[in-house]
Structure 1
């Protein structure tokens, strides 16, 4: 079980200790959320097969994953009519938060010189208006490092200059992109999570960055991880060097809004944690939406 729901008051009380300036709006337009979830459900079959085909292709190329194949993932012509337990889809819009920075680098590897457990994210984007994969969508990620600080906001660092664990890349013709980052740490008031933003028709700047104000923003969300993986990763260095107070999944109000669909399906890339982790997630977006980026900070 990924998380147990606690009293909303407990979750809210814990959040007040979040990073300075961490203000979140918990008021949601329920009709919009319901409509979004229904659109994702309409595409359930396409989404489930979309992720399964990505698994089959990757396992065929990776010796360790191939040894761990199951009858389901090795099916020659997989076809599902419903989202499977192994399929993770994030469709609910979640808060942008105060730590976004515009115009980040277009790149596949976001790690820079940071230490921690490597996380290879296989992100698929599907448009719920068509139930088809979304090519050339810019998938942008940002997250804290192992000790709980965001690049560009870390103590002693250069505000709006540090770029670690930030940036993204465009999906290919099949609506898929692989991004390498680190398993995120946590900070006081939030459980471990990765922020995600999906851009449509985004323009590139001449210096290799994305023009955040160009095109449409079809999705603003967050990815989460099973507590068992959090426990395992956070027991290792440099995660053990943090001074932040850990919040668990069942205490995080924002995770509660996202629900089980916002979890990354995570598995090991090797026998040891140092070999890294692989995570699959499909982001279901409404290609007709255009959400506003609230943060005006620019790299």
Structure 2
């Protein structure tokens, strides 16, 4: 709160300094400007532009540093105005006091979301099934705490919503098991091909006129090696097929969604989550959370539908995407008319015996850490 007030003060001070640089300015009448224009609503798009925000923060941070130098303070001890980092994001309480209901107008969830920023893309993970059906309810009779998840997609350059896109999500069930992929360590019997026909916690939804796609799902459980999360891919330019799936288009965003650590602790008190023996990995110890939270906030805002968590939650998040991007998607399996079919060139198909988060996962994290190091050096 202190930093927020500081930034507000600096913005006000900066505008006064730039308007009055030490001399009295002559005031001119501009008859071309209507006197009744009293608001800056017409500038909303420019004010929300990420580059505009960045320039303002950098300017006022510089002014603050100058003032502290003149006052004789050590700049190393000064509060730092910087983009979000994963530590500060993890300390935010994302629980909202919004009154929510199962049939509410979803666009009201995003009325106070603030400026749109680019949501960092991260790896798709090893358990993506491409070709899932377009459907809102993806619970498939799985036990757990009901969650409606609303995702709003906006173009981060224009801050305009993106209608007619498709959001594809997948996550583990309440005890940390993913369906639809055979042979991944810890995800059921690797010899049981029946898991390929299971589709719980997987589905696709189109964005509406407000750029919003929503799913009736469950709060996911955790599994060893990762913080609790939901995967998501946004497709633009895709075509809906007669069999209720999509084809074509491109993927400008591949990301993951997370939850407050305090919420995860509460979830684990309810069955069947409480029967999950997998190790809990905190958000701040998860490399992909760190990657996604260094720049923006990948944790959902949420509100309880009733008085208790077990009555269900509404969760919502905004994806700021770069529509010019076309990210690589390599599924572990495909959903077909005959059920799931493994992709031999997918991340699980190429594991070649052994792996899991202790094998494939360690190689994956090592690769991502090396990429991050090279990017930092460049």
The TM-score normalised by the length of structure 2 is: 0.56
Secondary structure at 1:229's aligned position in 2?
A: helix
For residues 219 and 43 of structure 1, what CA distance do their matches in structure 2 show?
23
For residues 176 and 139 of structure 1, what CA distance do their matches in structure 2 show?
9
Quick check: 250-259 or 149-158, which moved more?
Answer: 149-158
Q: RMSD across aligned C-alpha pairs, in angstroms?
A: 2.9
Secondary structure at 1:133's aligned position in 2?
A: coil
Structure 1 residues 235 and 63: CA distance shift in structure 2, 3 A:
closer
Contact 1:146–1:239 (Cα < 8 Å) also in 2? yes
Contact 1:137–1:171 (Cα < 8 Å) also in 2? yes
For residues 170 and 267 of structure 1, what CA distance do their matches in structure 2 show?
23
Shift of 1:266: 1.4
Structure 1 residues 123 and 64: CA distance shift in structure 2, 3 A:
closer
Shift of 1:123: 1.1
Shift of 1:210: 2.5
The equivalent of 1:257 in structure 2 is 291
For residues 79 and 105 of structure 1, what CA distance do their matches in structure 2 show?
32
The equivalent of 2:238 in structure 1 is 202
The equivalent of 1:284 in structure 2 is 320
1:108 to 136, 154, 179: 136
Contact 1:190–1:252 (Cα < 8 Å) also in 2? yes
Secondary structure at 2:326's aligned position in 1?
A: coil
Unpaired segments of 5 or more residues in structure 2?
Answer: 1-47, 54-95, 182-186, 336-378
The equivalent of 2:268 in structure 1 is 234
Quick check: 201-210 or 189-198, which moved more?
Answer: 201-210
Q: Does 1:131 find its partner at 2:159?
A: yes
Structure 1 residues 43 and 295: CA distance shift in structure 2, 3 A:
farther
Contact 1:200–1:215 (Cα < 8 Å) also in 2? yes
Shift of 1:207: 1.9
Shift of 1:244: 1.6
For residues 289 and 212 of structure 2, what CA distance do their matches in structure 1 show?
24
2:278 to 238, 244, 248: 244
Structure 1 residues 110 and 125: CA distance shift in structure 2, 3 A:
same
For residues 288 and 189 of structure 1, what CA distance do their matches in structure 2 show?
33
Unpaired segments of 5 or more residues in structure 1?
Answer: 1-38, 45-54, 66-72
For residues 165 and 102 of structure 1, what CA distance do their matches in structure 2 show?
13
Shift of 1:164: 0.4
The TM-score normalised by the length of structure 1 is: 0.70
Contact 2:154–2:160 (Cα < 8 Å) also in 1? yes
For residues 252 and 168 of structure 2, what CA distance do their matches in structure 1 show?
12
Count of equivalent residues: 232
Higher-Rg member (1/2): 2
Contact 2:152–2:317 (Cα < 8 Å) also in 1? yes
Structure 1 residues 236 and 296: CA distance shift in structure 2, 3 A:
closer
Shift of 1:127: 0.9
For residues 258 and 283 of structure 1, what CA distance do their matches in structure 2 show?
12
